[in-house]
Amino acid sequence: MPDLRPVEESSIPAVLPTAGAGVADPYLHLRHIHKRFGSFTALQEIDLAVQRGEFICLLGPSGCGKTTLLRIMAGLEKPDSGQIWQGGREITTLPPAQRDFGIVFQSYALFPNLTAADNIAYGLVNAGMPKRQRQQKVEELLALVGLSGSEGKYPAQLSGGQQQRIALARALALSPGLLLLDEPLSALDAQVRANLRGEIAQLQKRLGVTTVMVTHDQLEALTMADRIVVMNQGSIVQVGSPWQIYHHPASPFVARFIGMMNFLPAVIQTSDGGGVGVRCRDYPLRVVSAQSWPIGSAVNLAIRPEDIRLGSLDYETENTLTAEVLRSEFLGSVYRLWLRVGDGLELVADVSAQASRHLGHETRLRLQLPSQHILLFADANPLPAQ
Amino acid sequence: MVTRLTTPAGSPPPPLRVAAFSEVWVQRVLIGAVALWLLGVVILPLAEIVGRSLLNAEGEWVGLANYYTYFTTPGLSVSLSNTLWVTLSSTLISVILGLGFAYALTRTCMPGKGILRLVAMLPLYLPSLAQAIGLIYLFGNQGLISTGFFGWLPEWRIPLYGRIGIILGEVIYCFPQAVLILSTALLLADARLYEASIALRTSPWRTFWTVTLPGIRFGLVSAIFVCFTLVFTDFGVPKVVGGNFNVLATDIYKQVIGQQNLVMGATISVLMILPTGIAFIIDRLVQQRQVAMVGSRVVPLQPRPQPWLDWVSFAFCALLAGIILLVMAALLVASLVKVWPYQLSPSLRHYNLNAVAGGGYAAYGNSLRMSVYTAIAGTSIVFVSAYLVEKCRAWQPIRSLIYLASTLPVALPGLVLGLAYIFFFNTPDWGGIPNPLHGLYSTMALLVICNIVHFYTVGFLTASTALKQLDPEFEAVASSLKVPFYQTFWRVTLPLCLPAILQIGTFFFVQTMVTVSAVIFLYPPDLRLASVAVVNMDDAGNVASAAAMSTLIVLTSLAIQALYWAATQRLRRWSQAWQQR
């Protein structure tokens, strides 16, 4: 399996505007946002800087406050404290009508008694644009979302995916500086969702409009975002590129929420400059870690199922174990194996369909936990129940 | 093309067209206006009547002395227990009959559903006292049934005047309301629950108790509340067939009109509000718990033919519809013959209403005008206030108070409202503070306001339900597009709610046309009204003329209802493009 991991952090595909001024002066800046609903704390101490042209995903389980945060950006909710700056002016207390954004909701919120063209032109009429120019703009926008010729159709005559494209065109009609997407794909079928995912991301890149999207779907966040903001229980738990979030989760929560992760309890045995020796049950393992750990402290090892190497490991000596295959699941391109090492250590490993041919039907396998792919978390973070 | 759609990075955002005045202020002014309106027409008059019950005729504070007088005067206090007795019996009977009828309409395949439903709704279109007059023509001394169809059959006499007559009349009066509420509740059933029940081999009887009844429990509470309030506060039926059986509503009328004892009228009014107020609070508390049930997607239940059940249902419904038709027919026939029951040759002489006291066709014209004004003004006020409560975001606490004050009038009996308005609007000043609304007294405007308030709650809740069905994000999207809320109200909200608006307007018209209780204390001598004329003609012994006027009222209400149906049909065709799903 080729190791796609870049050697240096700087080799992450550059997605942030790198102009120094831009970084120092974010387009959208949220500072110390707090929000309570009665006794429920919806958001606490939210700090977030979004650069011009960036695509940000707010990702988290339901109830984590991501939608509330989006509504605060739109002015649909007022924060209890904190400040919001957009394009160099403070907008914290401005009503939605005096801000500069377009918004798309999960429910589309298209006006059912207006045609697609009238929906798109809804804001243009009020902006005082002459009729001819308006028609031209509507045509452009329809072409942009790939629905040319649908001017006269009513929302009920369009499919869900088409309705959401119209809603997107309507949100873009006034050329807003900020595009807010509130779970725009959640109401759609899987196939439509996958197509629209790519289209929205491409469109955003073409237009260069700063975008914040709320989603609970990790795949959406990983494929579309420049940066992902992972939220849990009203707080931001990690901000980073999809690559960082996936490969360097800041906490067991993030690790488990995005993708699948094996956790193994262990105790630190040795700790030197480049690596750590741990004991996991009776097995001594080595982990690459720049951090130094106190000897004897309890930790959790974490490794992704696809990072576990299986079979033909005769020449490997480091971190090899023998496991029994409990059951396997066929997922199309990969097999997912449930393994047991010794009498209690359970692991999940993914093996590509191609590689699985070499494994045959053996019930006992040699496996390796590559030391550079193991993450260490202090045991102070209690693990969420699986 | 691409570059035109967005601002190049670094350039300032496009200039915003900021409205000259803030939208929030427009909303606040409107919310404030609605709050003031409810304060002036609901809260203050109510406070006034409660206050008056604590004063004597000279306006001096006497505390609870009036209540003491009431409960120690045997002739008065007996009517409280009388009222409770007939109310509970009538409510029980009409809810049980209504449940049977509604079940047959929604859950069986009996024939003739459309016509049966129509007949069951007929009593909605005439004043309750017309029902009682119809009963007199059937069960009175010269009644069709009492005399055994004028001697062809054995006589069958019942003691009509008194509790039996009242209960009979009240059951017919509130039966359609029970059917309406319960059939709506029964229609909301989820077919999957019944399929699960069949799959688990549950008997139909047990299914009824474990699935059907729990499913409609909120509708049942609502029906009981509505029937209880209607009967408890009804004035028309006891006025006509009550005889010597006194109830609170007739007591208030006698105290105010007969003895000019306004203080005792206020005292009895407060006693009348107490039970309806308690029923109102119970209903509110129960309905609040319903929220959790709505929202999930329901698979509608399609009834399957069950010959035995279908025909039993048909027989039951046909019997009830037959009784209603008989009462209506008696009223119609009595108004169209020379002298009931002696000269049964057809004649239109009872329709020469100008020949008898009561106001004649001028009164009919006044009622018509009053109903049109009430329908237009009432619908506008109710819809705008429901919109402000549901869709605006300013002043949350005041909007909650508006909601509460808008649901309150349903617990206020018409007589109490009318009396409260006399007290409140006829007061030129309160210890030096002039009453700015005094000028409204004895005007058409006050009659219209009184009717709007009397039927406020149903209109408000209908509007509020229609608005709740719209996507809550419409306003958010519109404001992100810099479109002011009133423009979205005009272009989107109003067109989408047009069916509900027509329904509210029709409701206001029909109710105003048939109401007696709310206006009987308020109408000035130069503004006589059709429904009040029915009372006065009946009082004066011109029962046939009263029947004729009642027939006119029914026909008018039915015509408006037909107009509504025609309008909604056209509306449906017009909006087909965007309503198909």
ipTM of the prediction = 0.79
**Taken in order B152, B153, B159, B162, is the CA torsion positive or negative?**
negative
Query: B378 CA to chain A: closest CA distance, Å?
Result: 26
Q: Does the distance separating the beta carbons of B24 and A112 come in below 8 Å?
A: no
Query: Cβ of B579 under 8 Å from any chain A Cβ?
Result: yes
Nearest to B254 by CA among B79, B421, B85, B68: B79
Using one digit for the tens of pLDDT, what is the confidence trace for B245-281?
999 998 998 888 888 888 999 999 999 888 888 888 8
The CA distance from B555 to B125, in Å, is 8
Query: Cβ of A139 under 8 Å from any chain B Cβ?
Result: no
Calculate mean pLDDT across residues B300-319: 89
- What integer pLDDT is reported at residue B290 of this predicted model? 67
Q: Which of residues 22-61 of A touch B (CB under 8 A)?
A: 52-53
Calculate mean pLDDT across residues B34-57: 92
- What integer pLDDT is reported at residue B420 of this predicted model? 94
Name B484's bridge partners: none
Name A230's bridge partners: A59, A238
The CA distance from B317 to B101, in Å, is 6
The residue in chain B having the minimum alpha-carbon distance to the alpha carbon of residue A174 is B481
Using one digit for the tens of pLDDT, what is the confidence trace for B362-376?
999 999 999 999 999
- What integer pLDDT is reported at residue A6 of this predicted model? 42
| pLDDT tier for residue B13 given thresholds of 50, 70 and 90 | very low
Q: Does residue B319 surpass a pLDDT of 90?
A: yes
Q: What is the DSSP letter of B258?
A: I
Q: Which residues of B touch A206 (CB under 8 A)?
A: 2
Maximal CA-CA distance, chain B? 100
Q: Does the distance separating the beta carbons of A208 and B481 come in below 8 Å?
A: no
Q: Does the distance separating the beta carbons of B482 and A95 come in below 8 Å?
A: no
| pLDDT tier for residue B15 given thresholds of 50, 70 and 90 | very low
Nearest to B561 by CA among B122, B76, B60: B122
- B561 touches B569 (CB < 8 A): no
- What integer pLDDT is reported at residue B298 of this predicted model? 61
Query: Cβ of B487 under 8 Å from any chain A Cβ?
Result: yes
Using one digit for the tens of pLDDT, what is the confidence trace for B285-301?
887 776 544 444 566 77
Q: Does the distance separating the beta carbons of B7 and A177 come in below 8 Å?
A: yes
- What integer pLDDT is reported at residue A135 of this predicted model? 94
The CA distance from B83 to A130, in Å, is 68
Of the residues B3, B482, B497, the best mutation for testing chain A's interface (the one with the most A CB atoms within 10 Å of its CB) is B482
- What integer pLDDT is reported at residue A130 of this predicted model? 92
Query: Cβ of B578 under 8 Å from any chain A Cβ?
Result: yes
The residue in chain B having the minimum alpha-carbon distance to the alpha carbon of residue A128 is B17
- What integer pLDDT is reported at residue B350 of this predicted model? 86
- What integer pLDDT is reported at residue B2 of this predicted model? 37
- Tell me the CA distances in angstroms from B282 to B221, B290, B474, one per residue in order: 9, 13, 34
pLDDT, greater one: B450 or B149: B450
Across the beta sheet with A345-352, what order do the strands follow? A309-310, A364-368, A320-330, A334-341, A345-352
Query: A8 CA to chain B: closest CA distance, Å?
Result: 29
Q: Which residues of B touch A208 (CB under 8 A)?
A: 6, 9
- What integer pLDDT is reported at residue B43 of this predicted model? 93
Q: Does the distance separating the beta carbons of A74 and B476 come in below 8 Å?
A: yes
A100 → closest Cβ in B2, B13, B479: B13
Q: Which residues of B touch A175 (CB under 8 A)?
A: 5-7, 14
Q: Does the distance separating the beta carbons of A52 and B481 come in below 8 Å?
A: no
Q: Which residues of B touch A53 (CB under 8 A)?
A: 9
The residue in chain B having the minimum alpha-carbon distance to the alpha carbon of residue A206 is B2
Q: Which residues of A touch B496 (CB under 8 A)?
A: 112-113
- What integer pLDDT is reported at residue A24 of this predicted model? 57
Q: Does the distance separating the beta carbons of B16 and A98 come in below 8 Å?
A: yes
Three-class DSSP category at A306? helix
Q: Does the distance separating the beta carbons of A156 and B581 come in below 8 Å?
A: yes
Q: Does residue B25 surpass a pLDDT of 80?
A: yes
- A367 touches A339 (CB < 8 A): yes
Q: Which residues of B touch A138 (CB under 8 A)?
A: none
- What integer pLDDT is reported at residue B581 of this predicted model? 45
The CA distance from A297 to A80, in Å, is 41
Would you state the structure tokens that stand for residue A32, as one six-digit string? 């110390």
- What integer pLDDT is reported at residue B76 of this predicted model? 82
Query: Cβ of B20 under 8 Å from any chain A Cβ?
Result: no
Q: Which residues of B touch A127 (CB under 8 A)?
A: 17, 482
- What integer pLDDT is reported at residue B518 of this predicted model? 87
Query: Cβ of A134 under 8 Å from any chain B Cβ?
Result: no
Q: Does residue B4 surpass a pLDDT of 60?
A: no
- What integer pLDDT is reported at residue B570 of this predicted model? 86
Among A135-149, A154-168, B155-169, B306-320, which is the least confidently predicted range? B155-169
Q: Is B16 exposed, middle or buried (0-12, 13-18, 19+ CB in 10 A)?
A: middle
- pLDDT tens series, chain A, 386 aa: 444 444 344 434 434 444 444 445 899 999 999 999 989 999 999 999 999 999 999 999 998 999 999 999 999 999 999 999 999 999 998 888 889 999 999 988 999 889 999 999 999 988 888 999 999 999 999 999 999 999 999 998 899 999 999 999 999 999 999 999 999 998 888 889 999 999 999 999 999 999 999 999 999 999 999 999 999 999 999 999 999 999 999 999 999 999 899 999 999 998 887 788 999 888 889 998 878 888 888 999 999 999 998 876 666 678 888 888 888 888 888 889 999 988 788 999 998 877 777 776 677 888 899 988 999 998 754 444 43
Percent of chain B exceeding pLDDT 70 equals: 94
B487 → closest Cβ in A74, A102, A126: A126
- Tell me the CA distances in angstroms from A283 to A270, A273, A313, one per residue in order: 14, 22, 17
- What integer pLDDT is reported at residue B14 of this predicted model? 42
Average pLDDT, chain B: 86
Q: Does the distance separating the beta carbons of A96 and B479 come in below 8 Å?
A: yes
Using DSSP bridges, classify how beta strands A40-50 and A89-90 pair: parallel, antiparallel or unpaired.
unpaired
Q: Does residue B19 surpass a pLDDT of 50?
A: no
Q: How many residues does chain B have?
A: 581
Query: A34 CA to chain B: closest CA distance, Å?
Result: 20
Give the count of alpha carbons within 13 A of B483, CB side only. Answer: 26
The CA distance from B36 to B34, in Å, is 5
